Structure 1
Amino acid sequence: MFPEADKIVLLEEDLEVSPDFISYFDQTYHLLDIDPSLYCVSAWNDHGYNHTVGDPAQLYRIGFLPGLGWMLKRSLFFEELLPKWPPPWTDFDWDVMLRLSEHRKGRDCIIPDISRTYHFGYIGKHVGASMQFKYFYDHAFNTIPDVKLKDVDNMVFHKYEEMLMNALTGSVMVNGLAHDQTSCDGVFAPAPTNKTYVLFIRMQGPEDVGVWEKLSTCLNLWDLDIRGDHRGVWRFWYNGNPVIVVGVPYAELSSFAVHSQGEAVIFGGERSKRATSMGRWPPGLHRDMSEDRVRRFRLSSDAVNKAEADQRADREGEDT
């Protein structure tokens, strides 16, 4: 099917797509041709929650495969990945396989600030109702048609590094955070200021993730594992302001970032046992029950009802 197409978009069945889903990929597909250090273009931002996004036209570059609607080169899929695809009788997930270093080979993915897919399924092998509510329910989802993406060609590796350096040069350092503070209240400006903020965290290497775990939980980002960074640099919005988190000294740009500020206050500490057990979005926090959110819950409910009906039909078929 479509033998002339040199790109493939993989889409799971429990995803709703944005009105500019096709346009998003149409504006970015050429990046896979001009930058061999790219692995994919994804429609999903793991850290893109309602309170941590700010620009539907913005893109990021990360060293992780988010999945949940993503584009890759046809040759990569058929020549590299498909021959190693897990057989259906194994208990090894395809997305886990594709994230392994032996397959990703250090290549990056492009993601949007605001996701172009929305995960609505809460019955499945790995995602149940609790996880769906805690990690997917309040995910931001673009509803604006025909968004013209900006800085698309700056997603090429060397240009993205230059763009990051420019953003860090003009940023304001967050310096009021105590090392033993467990809450993130008051860390960032409470309202838009038209400034970019940079926060330095202690990170000796890729496995030294205790501080990021603490920060991601108290800011209500994705905190189940470590993802979404560009070589030790995370980007998101908070209270209407762009934020850059830099792991020091692990991030390749950390020396430049610290030098651009003159000095650095480095956020340390670890996530408490209580915060670890609770995970993101503490219980009791008010949830937005807008018509759009109710509609998404109904999508999830419909998926559950269909799965249960299919199971009943299978059992009745076996009985007969």
Structure 2
Amino acid sequence: IFPLVQYWAHWADLKWYLERVAPGRLVVMTVAVSGTVGLRDTAQLLAQLGSLFALHLTPMAHWTWMFIKGGRTISETTILQGYTTHHTHVIMPLSHLATPSTFNKNGLQVQRQRWHYCNANGAMGGLCNEYTPDPLPVPSPPPVTHQSVIARVPVVVTAGNRHQYLYHTLTTLMNAPGAQHDNIMVVLGNATQAATQLLHLMNINFTTLTIHGHHNNKLFSYYRNVFKFIAHTFPDAPAVILLDEDVEVSPDFFSYMSQTLWLLHEDPSLYCINAYSATGFQGTAHDSRTVLRARVQVEWGYAVSLQFIRDAIRKWPSDVSKVDTVFYDQWLYKHQSNGRECVFPEVSRSFHFGMGVNTEAWSTEAYFLFKPLVKQPHVHLDNVSTLLLETWQEHFSRSIRHATPLTGNPCSETFVPPVNTTTNFVFYYRMLRELNGKPNYRNFFFAAKCLNAWSASEQGLHKRVLTVRVSMLTTLYLVGAPYSPYAYLRPHYIKPWDYDSVTDEEDDIIMNRIKKVEMGRYQILNLNVTSEYLMNILFVN
């Protein structure tokens, strides 16, 4: 079920599933109530697959289509207008051909299990492709340079009933250089038969936890039990890597982890190593060798120490009615991080592709759907030792002190001047302390938004400073003054920027820029159409 009555993001999930339907499979699609307004880019794929109507469906259309993937249309009907009952009736004889003989003598039993599984499950990608099936068992990938660092580190994958997602996640994980298949453990919450059969087929270690509740209440309890399981099962592990069933990892995932994990034990001001970039989005992620540190929650694909796991369990409430948030990662950030920071790459080593309980369609498309991911393995990180707090603060202070100050409207097209050599800029914006002691992020929101940087929360900032990588050669520091400890570096002649002081003309520039940023790669051609404009057209005609 894909809620395509929503315009944003869900089209990508439908496309993801369609691309993983094996050639020769019979596919039946139908519209329930309404939902073609959100087909978006997937309509092009449907047309390529043979649909005659996909490019012409109205937002309230009713439509059914039965077709063979890579073959031909069996039936396609549509009602473009109206709410009448829509029926289609087809008798379709199914093939009883023998399963493919893509096995050797030693793999006969595994291949029989594969095709038995594929007879009952669809959209499994290469697992069930009869022409070019994924190898089973999955071959062991080559090691990484610092393989010994991750040799005893378990990789825990949290999963539920989305076995198509799980297969893709495990495939990218097991094929990433440095992966040790025996170290991977899947923790299933209320396991389905499809998920357990898949893990048996892939020869992956797994366990099942029984959980109760609904939606985020259920998830909050589930992750608490996952942490308990980790503490009991891997008490002597130097660290543990966790990721969810809908996270694709980069080929550089384990190489990145092997170069950064030591920081957890050397620097008590850190509590996690994130593979996901807190600040690296389209236009702000350029150098795969660069690693940063800032206040941020654990994100998609992260490592923490076993001591952090044990401390979290002691504080983790069993009664969800007594917590201020039931998002487990946010709870860890608010109540367990204790002001500590996380390490994360400029360009992500993980990508969150799934659509689930907490998916907000617009923000998913605006921030996450097109997030850059490192595609090559064995990237040498060039600044890991500088991430230790004392060294990092010295580096940060030096970079800001010698940066070129920028003034004016951060939404102006000419705000950041072009450069042909490595250059640091700094922009001071006004940040005051509220009565509750917390900073006021109003000016930060506008400044960051103008630069197409993360602006939705304070996460990703190091001591109230956001690092924005404008280009491969250009780094911009957004410093909140006077709240940030780095605000003392502001030259006396530079006045912190304040949105409340901008002119009406500058405000128009800001609002237009924000609209452009929020639409991303999309453009509304009739943005200026108003009811008065439409009435004038009707009156004239």
User: Where on the TM-score scale, by shorter chain, does this alignment land: which range?
Assistant: 0.7 to 0.9
Per-residue Cα deviation, 1:269-314 (whole angstroms, up to 9, x for no partner): 06979959x7783327359xxxxxxxxxxxxxxxxxxxxxxxxxxx
Q: Secondary structure at the match of 1:196?
A: strand
Q: 1:286 to 1:190 in 2, by over 3 A?
A: farther
Shift of residue 158 of structure 1? 0.6
Please tell me the residue identity of whatever aligns with 2:518. Answer: P
Contact 1:19–1:144 (CA under 8 A) maintained in structure 2: yes
Distance across 2 between alignment mates of 1:4 and 1:279: 51
Task: Give the aligned partner of residue 326 of structure 2.
Answer: 92
Q: Which residue of 2 aligns with 1:225?
A: 457
Instruction: State the distance in 1 between where 2:430 and 2:378 align.
Output: 40
Once the two structures are superposed, what CA deviation does each residue of 1:46-65 show, in whole Å capped at 9, x if it has no partner? Answer: 22112012211111110222
User: In the alignment, is the contact (CA less than 8 A) between 1:58 and 1:151 conserved in 2?
Assistant: yes
Q: Given the superposition, is the C-alpha separation of residues 212 and 76 from structure 1 closer, same or farther in structure 2, using an over 3 Å criterion?
A: same
The one of 493, 498, 517 aligned to 1:281 = 517
Paired residues for 1:146-157 under 5 Å = 146-157=378-389
- Deviation track 1:151-180 (CA, whole Å, cap 9, x = no partner) reads 2121111110001122123211112x14xx
Question: Counterpart of 2:480 in 1: which secondary structure?
Answer: strand
Once residues 219 and 51 of structure 1 are traced to their aligned partners in structure 2, the CA distance between those partners, rounded to angstroms, is: 9
Q: Which runs of 4+ in 1 moved over 6 A?
A: 88-91, 271-274
Give the gaps of 5 or more residues in structure 1: 288-320
- AA matched with 1:93: F
TM-score (norm 2): 0.47
**Contact 1:42/1:69 (CA < 8 Å) preserved in 2?**
yes
Is residue 190–residue 239 contact of structure 1 (8 Å, CA) maintained in 2?
no
Is contact 2:235-2:306 (8 Å) kept? no
Work out the number of aligned pairs and report it.
276
**Based on CA coordinates, which of the two structures has the bigger radius of gyration?**
2
2:485 alignment partner, SS class: coil
Deviation at 1:191, TM superposition (A): 5.0
Distance in structure 2 (CA, Å) of the matches to 1:62 and 1:280? 28
Q: Residue 204 in 1 paired to residue 432 in 2?
A: yes
In the alignment, structure 1 residue 266 sits paired with structure 2 residue 502: no
State the alpha-carbon separation in 2 of the partners of residues 284 and 116 from structure 1. 23
Change in 2 beyond 3 A, CA 1:86/1:245: same
Contiguous gaps of at least 5 residues in structure 2: 1-232, 524-541
Q: Cα gap change, 1:66/1:234 in structure 2, threshold over 3 Å: closer, same or farther?
A: farther
Q: In structure 1, what is the equivalent of residue 211 of structure 2?
A: none
Q: Distance in 2 between matches of 1:118 and 1:269?
A: 34
SS in 1 for 2:308: helix
2:311 to 71, 80, 89: 80
Question: Residue 415 of structure 2: which of 173, 187, 196 is its match?
Answer: 187
Could you say if the C-alpha distance between residues 279 and 12 of structure 1 is closer, same or farther in structure 2, counting changes exceeding 3 Å? farther
Q: How does 1:103-252 map to 2 (within 5 A)?
A: 103-121=336-354, 123-175=355-407, 177-178=408-409, 183-190=411-418, 192-205=420-433, 206-240=438-472, 241-252=474-485
TM-score, normalising length from structure 1? 0.78
Deviates more, 1:48-57 or 1:123-132: 123-132
Select the residue among 285, 290, 305 that pairs with 1:58. Answer: 290
Q: Tell me, in whole angstroms, the C-alpha distance in 2 between the residues paired with 1:114 and 1:137.
A: 14
Q: Match for residue 40 of structure 1?
A: 272
Kindly provide the CA deviation profile for residues 233-270 of structure 1, in whole angstroms up to 9, marking residues without a partner as x: 11121143111111111111110x21xx4632422106
Determine whether 1:254 maps to 2:487.
yes
**What SS does the aligned partner of 2:367 have?**
helix
Superposition deviation, residue 139 in structure 1: 1.5
Is 1:86–1:93's contact at 8 Å kept on the other side of the alignment?
A: no
Greater relative contact order structure (CA < 8 Å, 6+ sep): 1
| Counterpart contact for 2:278–2:344, Cα < 8 Å | no
1:203 positional shift: 0.7
SS of 1:229's equivalent in the other structure is coil
Shift of 1:189: 1.9
Shift of 1:2: 5.1
Instruction: Tell me the C-alpha RMSD between the 2 structures.
Output: 2.7
Structure 1 residue 18 and structure 2 residue 219: aligned?
Answer: no
Structure-2 change in CA distance of 1:116 and 1:279 (3 Å): farther
Give deviations 1:114-146, integer Å, cap 9, x for gaps.
11111112x212214322211202322111211
The percentage of aligned residue pairs carrying the same residue is: 26
Deviation of 1:192 after TM superposition, in Å, equals 4.6
Contact 1:189/1:239 (CA < 8 Å) preserved in 2? no
CA, structure 1 residues 17+192, in 2 after alignment: closer, same or farther (shift >3 Å)? farther
- Per-residue CA deviation, residues 51-98 of structure 1 (Å, 9 max, x unaligned), is 012211111110222411111101211x21134446598781111111
